[in-house]
Structure formats: C-alpha cells, structure tokens
Structure 1
Amino acid sequence: MRMPLLFPTLLALGLGACATGPAPIRGEFSAQSPDQAREQGSANASVRWGGSLIAVEPDPTRTCFVVLSRPLSAGGKPIIKRETTDGRFIACRGGFYDPALFAEGRDVTFTGRVEGFEERQIGAFSYRYPKLAADVVYLWPEPANVPDPRYAFPYRSPAFAPWWGYRPFW
C-alpha cells in the first residue's frame, strides 16, 4: 500500500534537490545587477553576483577578483551566454586565494554587500566598477571532460563488435 507513494515522494525530493544551489550561496538577496548598482550608485545592498573571472589580485591582507558578470541560475551558477553580461564588478575578501586555482575564465559566485565603487581603465575607456565586500567566494567545479558516447566502449572494440564493422548496427 505504501509502495505507490514511494516513487512520487522520491521524485519530488530529487527534483527539489536540483532546484537549490550550494549551501554557502543560498539566501535572500537583492535582485540588483552590477550594471544597475553602477548606474544607480546604490551601496550597502546585500547581493549574490557571479560570472567569469577576468583577474585575481592578491595583496598581503586580502584578495580582489575582477569579474565579468553573468546572469545566475536559480541555484546561483553563472549562465554562460557569450552575448549576455551584467557588466563587471570587483569582489574583495580577506585572505589569500591562489590565482592558479582561481584562473581566468573560471565560474565563480560571490555573496556580500556593495561597499562602494572604483574607477578603472578598460583600454582607453574609464569604467566604474561596483565593489563588493564578499562574505562567500564560491568557485564552481570545472566541467568534466566527457567523451562522446558514440565512440565509447564497446563500439570501437573488435572483441565485442566484429560483426558490424566496428560501428553500431543501427
């Protein structure tokens, strides 16, 4: 009698787990993007921003990250769309973060408060970066290098597929 409820319950729990992000970056945050913060000049907003690392600048007391902002998924992971960006921002956190691990192009998400703005040059253009005092720095794992399943074992193995010429029969 309890068996018919088991599958829907497990399905609901499994789908619920997919909808949430990692524990360190969960919470309630302002929907303000870095571009909106830069234009409105608003500080002290609690935000969750993320994107692709452009540069990592460690100094003796803290590390600052220059980030090309991207829209975030419901779980907080940056959505990679080459034509879409929310501007740029700088996030700083106390301590040392290794630039070899936090390499250019890696996906990262930060939570914290907007503490102000900093003018920097991008080529000959002066750009006003929102500066984030980060509480959490979350480096997303690099995607695994998964082989194309069409060419994976056993299709290229003569021991298992000699009768169809090393290709699937369909």
Structure 2
Amino acid sequence: MNRVLIAIAVLALSGCVTTPKPLQGEFAAISPREAVQQDLAGERVRWGGRLLETVRFDTHTCFLVASAPLADDARPYGRGPGQGRFLACRAGAYDPAVFAPGRELTFAGTLAGAEVHEIGGGLRLPRVEADVVYLWPEPPGSGRVNAPSPYTW
C-alpha cells in the first residue's frame, strides 16, 4: 500500500514540472563541448547556464554563458563544473542591467558554428543564433536588498 501511495505522489509531483512554452520542442542532445569539437552548425539546441557577460551591438545582443545541465523544466541547475561555455546571440537590444552576471538563462536556437572569444587569450566557443532567450526569475532570498521598513518597533 505504501508503495502505491509513493508512486502516486511521485507521478503527481512530476506533473507539476512543465517546460515553459517558448522552450518546448525537439532539440539535439549536444553539449557545448561537443559542438566545439565537431562541425554541428545547423543543429537545433536548447542550452542554459549562468550568465557571465552581456554585450550589446547595434543590431543584436550576445550573451556569454557558463553552461549547466538543464532540469526537466529546462532551467539550469548545479554550480559544479559545467559543460563548457557558449555564446548565444539574438537580434534586438537586451538591457545588461537586467541580464546581469550570475542570472540563469535558457536559450533555444540553431548552432552557427564556433568563434574565438577574447577570454583568457581567446577561447573557441560555440555560437547559438537564439530564437528564444528565457531569463529565469531569481529565487527568493537571492540577495536583493529590500528597502528598510518604516515601522521600526
């Protein structure tokens, strides 16, 4: 009986985990490290991780990301060694104050080869032409400072 209840609880909880609609779809199971080692341009990928840098250009914005594995809902998890770094670029202007270092993002898009990025003498990184840039909400207690209460009793 206990096993049946546990199975029902697990199924009910797994139903609560849903991938946001913009991030749903079929994607190649390729890591950023694999994408650098092979020519996989044109493959559809869904990658995510912690944002390292946001750079705005006249027509597009590029994001440098330390990749992390994705949970069932496509949110990056884990702070250990990732799967490499990658660049994701999308047309339009994204505010670097909102897309600040340390934020979690997930991208869906098409691999556009690899390019050299001027970090530590120039690393070759895979580049994603992103269709979707998904900025995850910050978890509660993430370090945001709230204004002090006017009621100090």
TM above 0.5: yes
Alignment pair present for 1:128 and 2:119: no
Corresponding pairs, count: 135
Gaps of 5+ in 1: 1-7, 147-170
Q: Return the offset for 1:74.
A: 1.4
Superposed CA deviations along residues 96-144 of structure 1, whole A, max 9, x for unmatched, are 11000000010000000001211123223x3111110000000000011
The residue that corresponds to 2:104 in the other structure is 107
Aligned to 1:93: 90
Task: Give the letter aligned to residue 117 of structure 1.
Answer: A
Q: Write the letter of the residue equivalent to 1:51.
A: G
Question: If the length of structure 1 is used for normalisation, what is the TM-score?
Answer: 0.74
What is the one-letter code of the residue matched to 1:28?
A: E
Pick one of 21, 25, 28 that aligns with 2:26: 28
In structure 2, the residue matched to 1:42 is 40
SS in 2 for 1:38: helix
Separation in structure 1 between the aligned mates of residue 41 and residue 12 of structure 2, nearest angstrom:
38
- How far apart are 1:13 and its partner, in Å? 5.8
C-alpha displacement of 1:95:
0.6
- Distance, in Å, in 2 between the alignment partners of 1:16 and 1:41 is 37
1:136-151 correspondence runs (5 A): 136-145=132-141
What TM-score comes out, normalization by structure 2 length?
A: 0.81
Q: Quick check: which one's helix share is greater? A: 1
How far, CA to CA, are the matches of 2:117 and 2:10 in structure 1?
A: 49
Q: Which has the higher contact order (CA 8 A, sep 6+)?
A: 2
Instruction: Report % sequence identity.
Output: 46
Larger Rg: 1
SS in 1 for 2:118: strand
